[in-house]
DNA sequence: TTCCGACAGTGGGGTCGCAAT
DNA sequence: ATTGCGACCCCACTATCGGAA
């Protein structure tokens, strides 16, 4: 298939807001793909590169853009091969060679093709169609039920191989995709609720302690153990403690879901940054263990010795899990239908330094990749009244608005403000309209991207916690900050202080 | 007809490894 | 040695479409 066909479809997909129309456009092109390129075309249509790492990012892409070719010439498969060359050179010290490859590729692309490939390489195609539309389109093009496609994607972990199987072999191809121990599947995700009562539905539920660590999917096949993150990156070499724990399980084939976290000597959790740093670090097993020991807590069992457990209700999966793993490797949890009891568990968990709870329906199967009602997380929420120091121009649908605000805490010592981070979250279109006008009035400077304002507007901010920061002058930053409301009943000299913020860090 | 679940988009801070400076 | 970049860890929230109720 010619790349320009794909680019033309992408343009049409972007042009319509109808999802059914997007789906039909994608399905039509999928049906045109040659059998051997179906997976590749599917991935490209969803804005995904088969190569996870290319070494080419936003910065490199904006640095150079050669003159475009007058006419389209490249096949999708040719583009894939040339991007593969780039990816093969990533991390090999040949950035000059990679830039050269990028230049010659772009010189062979028309203007529209260049923009499309830039979207692919940067991961920001923004055509209003991604995995969800692709999934529906695969079902339409292969004439198979969407639910079967969804299930296959969950089991395969990625969409492209499912598209390949469905478009070449239809229902029979889909049916051949199963949970394969040793190969990661998409993890089940949780929705969220503002408090414990909102997460309960009157029936008994299991409340798991929510640990602020790294999600781990563990596979054991005979002597072989492999570990994967939420995005299915393999991290086996980085977590020798977890490998040892899983290898010791007295079963031949096991697939587990859980979380690893660094605990202090007193058993309280370390800040997320400590666990994150350890998990991102390479080194010898001995050095890794010695640097920051990790503790593993499993909360689900997906497969055991040839038996898939995904469709069993949680109650049964958890009971099988509890029989399998050592008690101290099982996530602390409880079952209740009583609101007060659940509230108490939540309060104790937070008091012990943990992130919150995940409320799980006892009858829910393991539905990977969906943020449904099966699992709901509840976390405490902090708030502060801060002052807006600057605003950044938005992009995409926020192009004409001032969007991302810079947040400052009052510093009584200097009479000024200390920046703590930024946020673009929690704003409705109405808020965006209002703040665009308001901050234009308060503007003192504009560098084309950031508009600096007189520090007068107070905003109430919700956030999950305070973390150590090397970026911001106060040495602290807010985690997951979002706007609750603008406050016109408070002036900037009534805003919360940097001392208030530091006190939250303890 | 109204409601609500699922998606896509719009970005946040921190950390590592690697290459260039 | 330091800095910039890419990639990945954690992620919240709103608007919209279209099927469910």
Q: What is the CATH number of the domain that holds A438?
A: 2.40.50.140
By C-alpha to C1' distance, B13 is nearest to A479
pLDDT at A506 over 70: no
Flag whether A182 is in a domain: no
Contact between the CB of A271 and strand B at under 7 Å: no
Residues A198, A101, single domain; the answer is: no
The predicted pLDDT at position A370 comes to: 62
Residues A69, A194, single domain; the answer is: no
pLDDT at A96 over 90: no
The predicted pLDDT at position A25 comes to: 98
pLDDT band at A213; cut points 50, 70, 90: very high
The predicted pLDDT at position A183 comes to: 98
Note if A490 is an active site residue.
Answer: no
End-of-domain residue from the set A378, A413, A428: A378
The predicted pLDDT at position A379 comes to: 97
pTM of the model: 0.96
pLDDT band at A106; cut points 50, 70, 90: very high
Give the residue ranges of the annotated binding site of A for ATP: 208, 215, 230, 259, 299, 371, 377
Instruction: Supply the mean pLDDT for chain A.
Output: 96
Number of domains in chain A: 3
**Residue pLDDT, tens place only, A352-404:** 999 999 999 999 999 976 667 799 999 999 999 999 999 999 999 999 999 99
Of all nucleotides in the shown strands, which has a C1' nearest the CA of A279? C9
The predicted pLDDT at position A90 comes to: 80
Neighbouring C-beta atoms of residue A381, cutoff 10 Å: 14
pLDDT band at A443; cut points 50, 70, 90: very high
pLDDT band at A307; cut points 50, 70, 90: very high
Residues A342, A450, single domain; the answer is: no
Q: What is the mean pLDDT of residues A5-21?
A: 97
pLDDT band at A104; cut points 50, 70, 90: very high
Distance A218 CA to C4 C1' (A): 35
Residues A59, A99, single domain; the answer is: yes
**Residue pLDDT, tens place only, A121-161:** 999 999 999 999 999 999 999 999 999 999 999 999 999 99
Flag whether A423 is in a domain: yes
End-of-domain residue from the set A378, A408, A435: A378
The predicted pLDDT at position A357 comes to: 98
Q: What is the mean pLDDT of residues A334-361?
A: 97
Q: Which nucleotides of B are covered by protein (CB under 7 A)?
A: 5-20
Residues A246, A368, single domain; the answer is: yes
Query: Above pLDDT 90, what percent of chain A?
Result: 93
Residue A369: Cβ-neighbour burial (10 angstroms; 0-12, 13-18, 19+): middle
In whole angstroms, give the CA distance from residue A464 to residue A478.
8
Domain of residue A302, residue span: 189-378
Q: Which residues lie closer than 8 Å to A340 by C-beta, 6 or more apart? A: none
Flag whether A181 is in a domain: no
Query: Above pLDDT 70, what percent of chain A?
Result: 99
Burial readout A481-502 (b: 16 or more C-beta within 10 A, e: otherwise): bebeebeeebebeebbbbeebe
By C-alpha to C1' distance, B7 is nearest to A132
**Measured between alpha carbons, how far apart are the two ends of chain A, in Å?**
59
pLDDT at A342 over 60: yes
Which one-letter DSSP state was computed for residue A330? B
Q: CATH no. for residue A23?
A: 1.10.3260.10
Contact between the CB of A283 and strand B at under 7 Å: yes
Contact between the CB of A424 and strand B at under 7 Å: yes
In whole angstroms, give the CA distance from residue A273 to residue A294.
13
In whole angstroms, give the CA distance from residue A449 to residue A444.
13
Residues A327, A261, single domain; the answer is: yes
Distance A15 CA to C8 C1' (A): 32
Contact between the CB of A396 and strand B at under 7 Å: yes
pLDDT at A249 over 70: yes
Q: CATH no. for residue A255?
A: 3.30.470.30
Flag whether A184 is in a domain: no
Q: What angle do CA A138, A143, A148 make, to 5 degrees?
A: 65
Of A88-102, A196-210, A331-345, the range with the lowest mean pLDDT is: A88-102
Contact between the CB of A291 and strand B at under 7 Å: no
pLDDT at A279 over 70: yes
Residues A327, A206, single domain; the answer is: yes
Residues A223, A309, single domain; the answer is: yes
Residues A373, A482, single domain; the answer is: no
Of A42-46, A142-146, A351-355, A501-505, the range with the lowest mean pLDDT is: A501-505
Residues A235, A137, single domain; the answer is: no
Report the phi/psi class of residue A448: left, alpha or beta, with left for phi > 0 and alpha for psi in -120 to 50: left
pLDDT at A3 over 80: yes
Higher pLDDT: A368 or A484? It is A484
pLDDT band at A64; cut points 50, 70, 90: confident
> Any idea which residue has 């969407």 for tokens?
A146
**Residue pLDDT, tens place only, A412-442:** 999 999 999 999 999 999 999 999 999 999 9
End-of-domain residue from the set A312, A344, A378: A378
pLDDT band at A205; cut points 50, 70, 90: very high
Contact between the CB of A158 and strand B at under 7 Å: no
Q: Which one of the listed residues A210, A360, A379, A422 is annotated catalytic?
A: A210
Distance A280 CA to C8 C1' (A): 8
- Which residues are within 7 Å of strand C by their Cβ atom? A 17-21, 52-61, 90, 192, 212, 214-215, 229-231, 233, 235, 272, 276, 279-280, 377, 379, 425-430, 462, 464, 480, 482
Of all nucleotides in the shown strands, which has a C1' nearest the CA of A18? C17
Residues A357, A488, single domain; the answer is: no
Of A272-286, A366-380, A437-451, the range with the lowest mean pLDDT is: A366-380
Residues A441, A374, single domain; the answer is: no
């Amino acid at each position: 298939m010619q790349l320009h066909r794909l680019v033309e479809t992408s343009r049409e997909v972007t042009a319509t807001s109808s999802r059914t129309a997007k789906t039909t456009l994608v399905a039509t092109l999928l049906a045109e793909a040659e059998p051997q390129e179906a997976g590749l075309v599917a991935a490209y249509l969803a804005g995904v590169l088969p190569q996870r790492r290319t070494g080419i990012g936003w910065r490199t892409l904006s640095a150079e853009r050669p003159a475009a070719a007058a006419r389209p010439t490249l096949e999708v498969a040719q583009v894939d091969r040339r991007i593969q060359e780039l990816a093969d050179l990533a991390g090999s010290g040949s950035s000059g060679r990679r830039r050269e490859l990028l230049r010659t590729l772009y010189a062979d692309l028309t203007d529209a093709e260049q923009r499309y490939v830039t979207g692919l390489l940067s991961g920001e195609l923004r055509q209003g169609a991604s995995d969800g539309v692709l999934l529906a389109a695969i079902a339409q093009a292969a004439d198979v039920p969407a639910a079967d496609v969804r299930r296959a994607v969950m089991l395969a972990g990625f969409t492209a191989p499912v598209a390949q199987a469905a478009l070449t072999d239809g229902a029979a191809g889909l049916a051949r995709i199963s949970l394969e121990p040793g190969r990661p599947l998409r993890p089940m995700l949780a929705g969220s609720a503002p408090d414990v009562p909102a997460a309960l539905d009157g029936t008994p539920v299991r409340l798991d302690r929510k640990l602020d660590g790294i999600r781990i999917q563990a596979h054991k096949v005979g002597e072989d153990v492999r570990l994967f993150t939420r995005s299915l990156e393999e991290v086996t070499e980085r977590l020798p403690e977890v490998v040892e724990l899983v290898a010791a399980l007295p079963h031949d084939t096991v697939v587990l879901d859980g979380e690893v976290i660094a605990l202090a000597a007193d058993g309280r959790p370390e800040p997320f940054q400590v666990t994150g740093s350890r998990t991102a670090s390479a080194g010898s097993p001995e050095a890794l263990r010695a640097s920051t020991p990790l503790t593993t807590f499993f909360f689900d069992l997906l497969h055991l010795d040839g038996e898939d457990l995904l469709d069993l209700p949680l109650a049964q999966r958890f009971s099988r899990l509890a029989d399998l793993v050592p008690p101290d490797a099982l996530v602390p949890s409880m079952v209740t239908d009583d609101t007060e009891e659940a509230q108490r568990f939540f309060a104790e968990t937070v008091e012990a330094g943990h992130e919150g709870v995940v409320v799980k329906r006892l009858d829910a199967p393991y539905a990977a990749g969906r943020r449904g009602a099966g699992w709901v997380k509840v976390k405490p929420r902090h708030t502060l009244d801060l002052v807006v120091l600057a605003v950044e121009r938005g992009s995409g649908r926020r192009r004409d608005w001032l969007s991302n605000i810079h947040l400052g805490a009052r510093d009584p010592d200097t009479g000024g403000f200390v920046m703590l981070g930024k946020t673009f979250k929690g704003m409705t279109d109405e808020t965006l309209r209002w703040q665009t006008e308001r901050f234009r009035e308060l503007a003192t400077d504009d560098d084309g991207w950031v508009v600096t304002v007189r520090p007068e507007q107070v905003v109430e901010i919700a956030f999950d916690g305070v973390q150590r920061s090397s970026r911001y002058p106060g040495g602290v930053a807010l985690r997951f900050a979002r706007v609750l409301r603008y406050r016109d009943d408070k002036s900037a000299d009534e805003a919360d202080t940097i001392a208030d913020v530091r006190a939250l860090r303890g």
